[in-house]
Amino acid sequence: MKTRVDKRLEIFNKYADSLNLLIKNGIINLKLENTHTYICPICLTQFSEQALIQSLENPLTLEDVPPVSLGGKSEILTCRKCNNSCGQKFDHHLTTGIRIVDDSEFIPGTERNVILTKEGVDVNAQIKVGKDGLINVHIPTKKNNPEKLKRHIEKIKKDDEVQLINYSNNFDNEKFRMGLLKIGYLMVFKKFGYSIILDPIYDPIREQLRNPEKITYEQNYISTLPIMGVECVALVIETGFESMFSVFSLKASDIERPYQVFIPLPGKPISEALNRFREKYKSDKNPSLEMKAMNNSDYLTNIEAIKNMLNWINYLAANKN
Q: Which residues lie near Zn ion (CB under 5 A)? A: 40, 42-43, 79, 82
Give me the least distance between CB of 73 and Zn ion, in Å please.
20
Distance of closest approach, residue 182 Cβ to Zn ion, in angstroms: 12
Residue (37 or 260) nearer to Zn ion, CB: 37
The DSSP line for 281-316 is: HHH-SS----EEE--S--TTT-HHHHHHHHHHHHHH
Alpha-carbon gap, residue 221 to 132, rounded angstroms: 38
Shortest distance, position 86 Cβ to Zn ion, whole Å:
9
Smaller CB separation from Zn ion, 79 or 270: 79
Q: Name the minimum Å distance from CB 291 to Zn ion.
A: 31
Which H/E stretch holds residue 61?
strand 60-65
> What backbone phi and psi angles, to 5 degrees, belong to 136?
-115, 130
The least distance separating Zn ion from the CB of residue 206, rounded to whole angstroms, comes to 9
Q: Are 244 and 262 in contact (CB under 8 A)?
A: yes
Rounded to an integer, what distance in angstroms lies between the CA atom of residue 257 and that of residue 249?
A: 5
Q: Minimum distance from CB of 60 to Zn ion (Å)?
A: 9
CB of 97 to Zn ion, least distance (A): 24
82 vs 247 by CB, closer to Zn ion: 82
Pairwise CA distance, residues 112 & 106, whole Å: 10
Residue 306 CB neighbour total at 10 angstroms: 23
DSSP letter at 3 equals -
Taken in order 259, 265, 270, 272, is the CA torsion positive or negative? negative
Residue number with CB closer to Zn ion (42 or 196): 42
> Which CB atom, from 42 or from 306, has the smaller least distance to Zn ion?
42
Cβ at position 232, least distance to Zn ion in Å: 25
Q: Considering the complex, state which of residue 42 and residue 300 has its C-beta at the smaller distance from Zn ion.
A: 42
- Kindly give the pairing relationship between strand 111-118 and strand 73-79: unpaired
How far, CA to CA in Å, does 320 sit from each of 33, 88, 186, 206, 317? 38, 40, 28, 26, 8
* Nearest to Zn ion of 12, 277 (CB atom): 12
Nearest to 106 by CA among 229, 255, 228: 255
**Residue of 138, 81, 130 lying closest to 107 (CA atoms):** 130
Q: Are 100 and 256 in contact (CB under 8 A)?
A: no
Is the Cβ of residue 50 or residue 173 nearer to Zn ion in the bound state? 50
Identify whether the C-beta of residue 216 lies closer than 8 Å to the C-beta of residue 204.
yes
